[in-house]
Amino acid sequence: MVALFSEIFSPMPNLTLEEVARQAGVSRSTVSRVINNQAGVKADIRRRVWDVIHETGYHPNPAARTLASQRTHLIGLVIPRSVHTFFTDPYFPRLTLGIAQACNQNDYTLSLFLFHTEDDERKLFPRIIRKGLVDGLIVQATNAADELFVQLSQAEVPFIIAGRPMNLTDASYVDVDNFAGAQNAVRHLIRQGYKRIGILSGPLNTTAGLDRYQGYRDAIRENGMALDEHLLVEGDFSEAGGYFAARRLLDSRPDALFIASDMMALGALRAIREARLSVPDDIGIVSFDDLPPATMASPTLTTVRQPIRRLGIRLVETLLDIIELGPYPPRRVIFDTELVIRESCGADRNIREQTNIPRQSAPGLADAN
C-alpha cells in the first residue's frame, strides 16, 4: 500500500544529467563529457560516472539534447506520392531494412514519410524541410520528384536520393548500374541463342526504366540485331502491369523477353501460361531485382540481382557524411549488379543436358542482398 501510494503521489522525478552528476559527485559538464565520449576526463572519474549511469539506467533526454545541439539524430525516409508500388513491390521493404539497420548502427532513428495523397504531400513537405525535424532525408527517386529536389536544395536540408534523378542536379545519390545490368542480361539471352528478344520495360520517364531499356538496346545493337519497336512495351514495374504488357508483347511473337522487374516477370509468366506457351522452351526470360518472388515463380527466374540492402546502408552512411561535411561535392555511388542464373533463361537446361547436374530447387528465404 505504501509503495502504491508513493508511486502515485511522488512519481520518480525524471532522471537528469544533474542528478547523475550529484550521485557521482561531479558536475553536469563532466557527466556530459562522459556520455558524449569527449576527451578531458580522468579515467577513474570517467569510470565512476559510467557506473552511476548504468546503475540508474540513465539515458539523456533526446529533446533537450536536440535543442542544445541543434541535432535531432533523426533521418527521414521520403516516399513521394508517385511511388504507388511501395505497397506491392518487395523492393521497398528490403531497402527499408537496410536503411533501418544502418540507422541503428549509427544511433539514428528512422522516420517514415509516406506521401499517399497530394494532400499528404502539401501538408507534410513544408514541415519536413523546415530545419529542426530531421537532420537529413533519403528521398526515393521518381519521375515527379525533381521539383522536390529543388525545394530541398533551397531549404538547405541535407538529403540524398535513392536512385538517380532524371534531370542532372547537384544532388547526391546512390544507385545501381541499371544500364550494365540490363545489357548483361540481354547479352546472356543472346548467348543462349534467342533471336527475337523483346523488352518489357519499366516506365520510361524514370531513370531505372530508361537505363534498363538502353542497356537492352545497346546489347541488341552490338550484336547486329534489329531493334523492332513492336518488341518494346512499357510497363510500370507491377505484376498487373507486367501481365497486360506481356499480353501485348506476345502478339509480336518474341522468343525471349528481358523484363525490367521481377514483379512484372510474375505477371508476364501469368500471361504466358494463359497463352499456353512454355518458359524457357517457347520463351526465355531474364528479369531484374532478384527479390524473393524470383525463386517462387515457376520456372524460377534468371534475374539481375541488385544489392538492395547494401544500397540502403550506403544511403544512410553517405547521408551522414553529407550532414557532417556539407553537400559539396555531390556524392555519387553506383553499385554493380550480378546476373543470377536460374531456370527461366534456359541456361540451366542447357547445362543439365550437357553435364547432368540436378536442377536446383527453390531455396527458402535466403538472407542475401
Partner DNA sequence: TAGAAAACTGGGAGCGCTCCCAGATATATA
Partner DNA sequence: TATATATCTGGGAGCGCTCCCAGTTTTCTA
Q: In the structure grid, which three cell numbers stand for residue 335, read together?
A: 553499385
In the DSSP assignment, the letter for residue 84 is G
Toward DNA, which CB reaches closer, 15 or 180? 15
- What residues pair up with 333 in beta bridges, in sequence order? 174
Q: Rounded distance, CA 265 to CA 294, Å? A: 8
Q: Which does 36 bind (CB under 5 to 8 A by kind): a second copy, DNA, none?
A: DNA
Q: Rounded distance, CA 317 to CA 115, Å? A: 24
- Binding range to DNA, per CB under 7 A, among 41-49, 205-213, 243-251, 314-322: 41-49
Residue 325 engages a second copy in binding (rule: CB under 8 A): no
- Binding range to DNA, per CB under 7 A, among 59-67, 83-91, 136-144, 154-162: 59-67
Build a one-symbol-per-residue string for 18-37: x at contacts with DNA by CB under 7 A, - elsewhere: x------xxxxxx-xx-xx-
CB of 129 to a second copy, least distance (A): 10
Beta-sheet pairing, 74-79 with 109-114: parallel
Exactly one of 36, 51, 62, 281 binds a second copy (CB under 8 A); that residue is 62
Q: Rounded distance, CA 183 to CA 188, Å? A: 9
| Residues within window 69-88 making contact with DNA, judged by CB under 7 A | 69
Exactly one of 27, 47, 64, 324 binds a second copy (CB under 8 A); that residue is 64
Q: Alpha helices of 79-191 — where are they, by DSSP H?
A: 91-105, 118-129, 146-155, 178-191
- Binding range to a second copy, per CB under 8 A, among 46-54, 89-97, 137-145, 320-328: 89-97
Amino acid present at 243? Y
In the DSSP assignment, the letter for residue 315 is H
Contact 74, 133 (CB under 8 A): yes
Residue 151 engages DNA in binding (rule: CB under 7 A): no
- Binding range to a second copy, per CB under 8 A, among 174-182, 200-208, 217-225, 239-247: 239-247
Residue 60 engages DNA in binding (rule: CB under 7 A): yes
CA distances from 88 to 56, 278, 347 (A): 45, 26, 30
Contact 66, 72 (CB under 8 A): yes
CB of 66 to DNA, least distance (A): 8
Residue 59 engages a second copy in binding (rule: CB under 8 A): yes
To 5 degrees, how large is the angle CA 159–CA 165–CA 169? 70
Residue 190 engages a second copy in binding (rule: CB under 8 A): no
Contact 77, 113 (CB under 8 A): yes
Q: Rounded distance, CA 283 to CA 250, Å? A: 10
The site for a second copy (CB under 8 A) is made up of 14, 57, 59, 61-64, 66-67, 72, 74, 77, 84, 86-88, 90, 92-94, 96-97, 100-101, 104, 109-114, 116, 120, 123-124, 126-127, 130-133, 238-240, 243, 266-267, 270, 273-274, 292, 295-296, 298, 362-365
The site for DNA (CB under 7 A) is made up of 14-18, 25-30, 32-33, 35-36, 39-42, 45, 58, 60-61, 64-65, 67-69
